[in-house]
Amino acid sequence: MSLNLPTSALNPPGIQRVVMEHVVKTSDAMTPSHAFRLKAFSGRSPRPSTESDLDTWRASIDCLLNDVSLSDLHKTRRILDSLLPPASDVVRHVGPFSSPAQCLELLESVYGSVEDGDDLLVKFISALQDQGEKPSTYLHRLHVMLSAKIRRGGVTEAEWSRYLLKQFCRGCWDNSLIADLQLDGRKISPPSFAELVVLIRTAEDKQSLKEERMRKHLGLNKHAPVPVKFRMTTHQQSVYSSDVPDEPKDEVQHHSSQKQKSKSNADKSEVDALKKEVAKLQAQISGYQGVINVLEKRNQQGSTGKVGCV
């Protein structure tokens, strides 16, 4: 015998509500905004290798703040959970019910840079490529500095790409790379950071592969320097002493011996010239001495004749 029960009897409204709340909570817990873990920050110096610096930590916090699905209370708790002593002691009195802006303001005042937007702009313009630094690494360093400047004000996000490309072309010493990628002509419509770093890394990989093929063809080992006449980036030779290959030891010794020989020959010729001058002076002195002797004899003879006459 089968019972014909209504649907409301099988699924009461109370049970449906509990099931729906459970589903919503489970789905919220599995969203990416809840799943990703914030980087730890303590503010200790020197910084431990397992922790991030303030700029890196702030980048992850910015992603959290831009999530509109989270409440300010939840954002504050996530920020407090990512802090370690002594940074956590700075905001301990604030409490979990304060706004995220209050926590960040305290941390910025203690661990952040005291430079304003203008000072950071001067520092950004003065940043040049270091010796041995790859162009892609230099670009990433400029990107980090420009990010800090945007937070401090002075440069809008719309001007981001233009400032980045302009300073890279100004501070990068590899003119051949800039010319090959035609970066000077793209300042009016600059590429984004992602596009620019891909272009530069691709060019670096091509140059690295070309040098590797050159080494194999010339029979050089991995650490052997590439001869100067085979180098393609002539601009880097004049800038980076680390990139300029050293000459072979035999050639260096040959050059040094030649320099020593030429120097010794020059010294010898100079000594010979001095000897000749001394000989001339001695001859002149001898001639003068003979004249003096003759004059003295004449004077003696003249004085003797005068005495006899008297």
User: Concatenated DSSP letters for 164-198?
Assistant: HHHHHHHH---HHHHHHHT-GGGSSSPPPHHHHHH
Percent of the chain with pLDDT over 70: 65
* Preceding peptide of 46 cis, ω within 30°: yes
Structure tokens at 190: 């600059």
For the entire predicted model, the pTM comes to 0.51
Instruction: Give the residue, 215 or 174, on which the prediction is more confident.
Output: 174
What local confidence, expressed as pLDDT, does residue 288 receive?
Answer: 67
What local confidence, expressed as pLDDT, does residue 274 receive?
Answer: 78
- Which residues make Cβ contacts (< 8 Å) with residue 221, sequence separation at least 6? 215
Task: Report how far apart, in Å, the C-alpha atoms of 10 and of each of 7, 14, 18, 118, 249 are.
Answer: 5, 11, 15, 69, 93
What local confidence, expressed as pLDDT, does residue 269 receive?
Answer: 76
**How far is 36 from 61, CA to CA, in rounded Å?**
11
pLDDT (average), residues 184-191: 90
The DSSP call for residue 83 is: B
Q: What is the pLDDT of residues 211-236, one digit of tens each?
A: 888 888 887 766 655 554 455 444 44
Q: Let me know: does 60 contact 41? Beta carbons within 8 Å.
A: no
Phi, psi of 229 (to 5 degrees): -70, -15
Q: Is the pLDDT of residue 251 over 90?
A: no
Q: Is the pLDDT of residue 247 over 50?
A: no
Q: Let me know: does 116 contact 152? Beta carbons within 8 Å.
A: yes
The DSSP call for residue 113 is: -
Q: Is the pLDDT of residue 87 over 60?
A: yes
What local confidence, expressed as pLDDT, does residue 8 receive?
Answer: 56
Instruction: Give the residue, 213 or 153, on which the prediction is more confident.
Output: 213
Residues of 217-227 as b/e, b for ≥16 C-beta within 10 angstroms?
eeebeeeeebe
